[in-house]
Amino acid sequence: MNVKDIMVSEASGGAEETRQAPIENPVLKYMRRDRMPHIWCPGCGIGTAVNCFTRALDSSGLDMDKVAIVSGIGCTGRVAGYMDLDSFHTTHGRAIPFATGLHLSNPDLKVIVFSGDGDLFAIGGNHFLHAARRNMDMLVICINNYTYGMTGGQVAPTTPLKSTQSTMPFGNFEEPMNLPFIADAAGATYVARWTVFHVRQVVRAIKEGFEHKGFSFIEIMSPCPTLYLRRNKLGDGVDQVRWFKEHSVLKNGADTKDVALRAQDPISVGKFVERDAPTWLDSRNAQLASVLGARFVTTGGSDGHN
Amino acid sequence: MKASPEGVLTGVHFMDGDHAACEGALAAGCRFVAGYPITPSTEVVERFAARIPTVGGMFIQMEDELASSIAILGGAWGGKKVMTVTSGPGLSLMMEHIGLAVITEVPCVIVDVQRGGPSTGLPTLPAQADMMQVKWGSHGDYEIIALAPSSPQECFDLMIKAFNLAETWRCPVFFMMDEVVGHMVERVEIPPADQIEVVERRWSTKPPSEYRAYEPGPDLVPDMVKAGDGYHVHITGLTHDERGYPALNPAAQDRLVRRLSDKILKNADKMVDVREDGCDDADIIVVSYGITSRVADAAVDMARAAGLKVGSARLVVCWPFPDEVIRGYASRAKAIVVPEINLGQMVREVRRVVSCLPVYGVDHAGGSVHEPERILDVIKQAASDVGLAGGNGGRS
């Protein structure tokens, strides 16, 4: 019995004789089907996060012509290319400043950055700080799989202490970053962390990110079975998701300085920050209007011909 | 089409090259600038920041030049004409996005107000030592366009040309100023908007179902769309096929990289701009660009007063290099002199295309313009070496 048969079977209460036309996967329409199969390994969590993203899109009510997705480089950097949206696969670490330019050039767009922990916080860390500081109106989704997957499992700014990576062959001795704490401190106005076990919470968080005005940050913990788990003898993707299930502790509203990740310690998950603050564009327009009055020309949204 | 009047500061002004470059960008229709402060270029973005709120457009000071140089690419996909502005150290940081702009074919203007290098070098003093960096600094094979203004008036006029070239050929266009041109204050005449020709973006007229992001037209350039119009484009810095999808194989690489180069090299005759003075019957031709052209002109005048037949060829467009024009001099002149404020960059290009007559560089490590007499001395030496009367030693 294939997957479609099971879906039909379930939809019809298990009565084989009432089999109907195959039901289309409801979120496949958000994907570039002509780009399948994707590059991700069996057991990788990025696909689950993408599934959550498409389900959030599906229930968002957004006009898909007005949603743009931007990725950097790496395994998660490939997400943009699989989405049937205006999608931009940029340079390593620079998705956020590209997204800043796209958003300010056409504020009608809903701009999402979807990238990995190394891309956003090592090579791209400075851009993250400043976009958060500016409360630039965008949603940043970060897949944290503790490692550089695309290049073969090198130490990342998120790699737990003692973990072995190809460039930390004797165990990592660098303190990992606490991403929600950095986002919060820099000025992000929505900060959450979930794991790929928490699919419904991830969908809800992404929808909240769509609706939140300002800089939203969602960290999604995700297994890298090939280059993190196997090297550290932590099992496969399913084992890691089971571990996420059993060791996640819901801490909505937690002080972000208390949610640092420690190797194999419980993972604090939840919505840590949600606050109102003017976006960069709103602040800019208010300031210029107050000083220049009627001379200030607000920039048109989608008309690029002015 | 004609320039949109709200960005055009029509009238006669007394302004420096940095400010004139900004006015040129506004007149050309530039409505998105991202920049980062760096001497001696900062006045360009300072003026843009002050002007754009009442024109209608966007300026943002980014956190560094990496960010500035990719924010403008996002700005272009949002539909705006875009520019960033920097000097040597910032240009070095922008190299990765020059490659991205080339491979994703984003029209953009990058202003480089050149100063002495390498590294921090001479922040407040001129050089022309980034000429090779803009051509070769990003990895991989690529072609770009570069212009070199020699006065504030040209900072205005040629900036419009720079934007028009960027939009026509969908590639980064470098505006190679230097500290002297940037800070020199002269008369700048800005014409009425209806006398300024501007090139609009090559917007595709195809519906989304038929549009392919990298399907080239007869001139090898694809038409463009912007995000938000329902085309659902995929744009990647990976080697891609005509759909814009990654295609990581030698055949796709060959097809894409050759087209990106060919669209510039095979259309170079439409871009080349060499302004000549007295080159038709000259024995010696001085090839120069940017601020050095003005010093060279003084040397040419002195040489002519001394009885030598000297022509001046000024490269307004330095890249693509005007191979055919320079090669034409080889059949007429006896020597070529190339003064520039570096230790010999564009002179290599002259030597590449001219093999049958002597080429004299007049180098300068930077920090000031040449003394005209230094160029004159080399002209005289060249004349002497090739046996012209009036040269040093006056043989024959």
Mean per-residue pLDDT of chain A = 92
Ramachandran region, residue B314 (left: φ > 0; alpha: ψ -120 to 50; beta: rest): beta
Among chain A residues, the shortest Cα distance to B59 is held by: A104
Residues of chain B positioned with their CB less than 8 A from the CB of A292: 53-54
Q: Does the residue B242 lie in any domain?
A: no
Alpha carbon of A71: minimum distance to chain B alpha carbons (Å) = 10
Residues in B 47-86 with any Cβ partner in A closer than 8 A: 53-58, 60, 62-64, 66-68, 70-80, 82
Q: Which of A180, A178, A175 is nearest to A192 (CA)?
A: A180
Claim to verify: residue B23 and residue B153 sit in the same structural domain: yes
Global pTM reads: 0.95
Could you please state the CATH topology (level 3) that the domain comprising A24-295 is classified under.
Rossmann fold (3.40.50)
Does the distance separating the beta carbons of B34 and A302 come in below 8 Å? no
Among A86, A110, A283, the strongest candidate for a mutation testing the B interface, having the largest count of B CBs within 10 A, is: A86
Q: pLDDT at position A17, please?
A: 57
Q: Which of A184, A198, A170, A189 is nearest to A267 (CA)?
A: A198
Residues of chain A positioned with their CB less than 8 A from the CB of B64: 126
Q: Which of B338, B396, B390 is nearest to B362 (CA)?
A: B338
Residues of chain B positioned with their CB less than 8 A from the CB of A302: 79, 228-229
Residues of chain B positioned with their CB less than 8 A from the CB of A80: 234
Is the minimum CB–CB distance between B257 and chain A shorter than 8 Å? no
Claim to verify: residue B304 and residue B189 sit in the same structural domain: no
CA B353 to mean position of chain CA atoms: 20
Both structure tokens of B255:
């097809």
Among B2, B58, B209, the strongest candidate for a mutation testing the A interface, having the largest count of A CBs within 10 A, is: B58
Domain extents in chain A: 24-295
Cα–Cα distance for residue pair A272/A103, rounded to 1 Å: 25
Angle at A281 between CA A280 and CA A282, to 5 degrees: 95
Q: Which of B195, B227, B243 is at the close of a domain?
A: B195
Give exposure, A237-246, as e/b (b: 16+ Cβ within 10 Å): beebbebbee
Q: Is B146 helix (H, G, I), strand (E, B) or coil?
A: strand
Is the minimum CB–CB distance between B101 and chain A shorter than 8 Å? no
Residues of chain B positioned with their CB less than 8 A from the CB of A90: 70, 73, 100, 237
Assess whether the previous peptide bond of B40 is cis (omega < 30° from 0).
yes
Residues of chain A positioned with their CB less than 8 A from the CB of B49: none
Claim to verify: residue B175 and residue B304 sit in the same structural domain: no
Claim to verify: residue B159 and residue B305 sit in the same structural domain: no
Beta-strand pair B335-339/B359-362: parallel
Cα–Cα distance for residue pair B22/B33, rounded to 1 Å: 10
Neighbours of A276 (CB within 10 A): 9
Q: Which of B56, B108, B144, B105 is nearest to B225 (CA)?
A: B105
Q: Which of B152, B170, B195 is at the close of a domain?
A: B195
CB B227 within 8 A of CB B233: yes
Angle at B114 between CA B298 and CA B170, to 5 degrees: 105
Residues of chain B positioned with their CB less than 8 A from the CB of A126: 63-64, 67
Q: Which of A66, A304, A301 is nearest to B201 (CA)?
A: A304
Does the distance separating the beta carbons of A84 and B97 come in below 8 Å? no
Is the predicted pLDDT of residue A4 greater than 90, yes or no? no
Does the distance separating the beta carbons of A296 and B73 come in below 8 Å? no
Both structure tokens of B119:
């590294």
Which band of pLDDT confidence, cut at 50, 70 and 90, is reported for residue A1?
very low
Cα–Cα distance for residue pair B160/B195, rounded to 1 Å: 12
As a three-state string, the secondary structure of B317-380 is: EEECCCHHHHHHHHCCCCEEEEECCCCCCHHHHHHHHCCCCCEEEECCCCCCCCCHHHHHHHHH
**Nearest CB neighbour to B71, from listed A34, A97, A304:** A97
Structural domain total, chain B: 2
Residues of chain B positioned with their CB less than 8 A from the CB of A35: 245
Q: pLDDT at position B392, please?
A: 62
Is the predicted pLDDT of residue A177 greater than 50, yes or no? yes
Both structure tokens of B396:
């024959």
Is the predicted pLDDT of residue A217 greater than 70, yes or no? yes
CB B30 within 8 A of CB B109: yes
A110-116: strand order across its sheet:
A248-250, A267-274, A190-195, A215-221, A138-144, A110-116, A67-71, A86-89, B234-236
**Nearest CB neighbour to B58, from listed A94, A299, A303:** A299
- Residue A278, exposed/middle/buried by CB under 10 A (0-12, 13-18, 19+)? middle
Give exposure, B105-138, as e/b (b: 16+ Cβ within 10 Å): bbbbbbbbbbbbbeeebbeebbbbbbbebbbebb
Look up the ipTM and state it.
0.97
Q: Does the residue B262 lie in any domain?
A: no
Q: pLDDT at position A16, please?
A: 55
Alpha carbon of A167: minimum distance to chain B alpha carbons (Å) = 25
Cα–Cα distance for residue pair B396/B387, rounded to 1 Å: 6
Which band of pLDDT confidence, cut at 50, 70 and 90, is reported for residue A303?
very low
Neighbours of B194 (CB within 10 A): 11
- Residue A37, exposed/middle/buried by CB under 10 A (0-12, 13-18, 19+)? exposed
CATH number at residue B110: 3.40.50.970
Beta-strand pair B172-178/B274-277: unpaired
- pLDDT tens sequence for chain B (396 residues): 999 999 999 999 999 999 999 999 999 999 999 999 999 999 999 999 999 999 999 999 999 999 999 999 999 999 999 999 999 999 999 999 999 999 999 999 999 999 999 999 999 999 999 999 999 999 999 999 999 999 999 999 999 999 999 999 999 999 999 999 999 999 999 999 999 999 999 999 999 999 999 999 999 999 999 999 999 999 999 999 999 999 999 999 999 999 999 999 999 999 999 999 999 999 999 999 999 999 999 999 999 999 999 999 999 999 999 999 999 999 999 999 999 999 999 999 999 999 899 999 999 999 999 999 999 999 999 999 999 976 664 433
pLDDT in tens, A223-258: 999 999 999 999 999 999 999 999 999 999 999 999
Which domain range does residue B338 map to?
Answer: 276-385
**Nearest CB neighbour to A91, from listed B53, B100, B231:** B100
**Nearest CB neighbour to A126, from listed B32, B64, B238:** B64
Q: Write the CB contacts of B201 (distance below 8 Å, at least 6 apart in sequence).
A: A304, B79, B81, B107, B167, B224
Q: Does the residue B281 lie in any domain?
A: yes
Q: pLDDT at position A20, please?
A: 76
Q: pLDDT at position A265, please?
A: 83
**Nearest CB neighbour to B56, from listed A84, A302, A306:** A306
Percent of chain A with pLDDT over 70: 91
Q: What are phi and psi of B74, to 5 degrees?
A: -60, -40
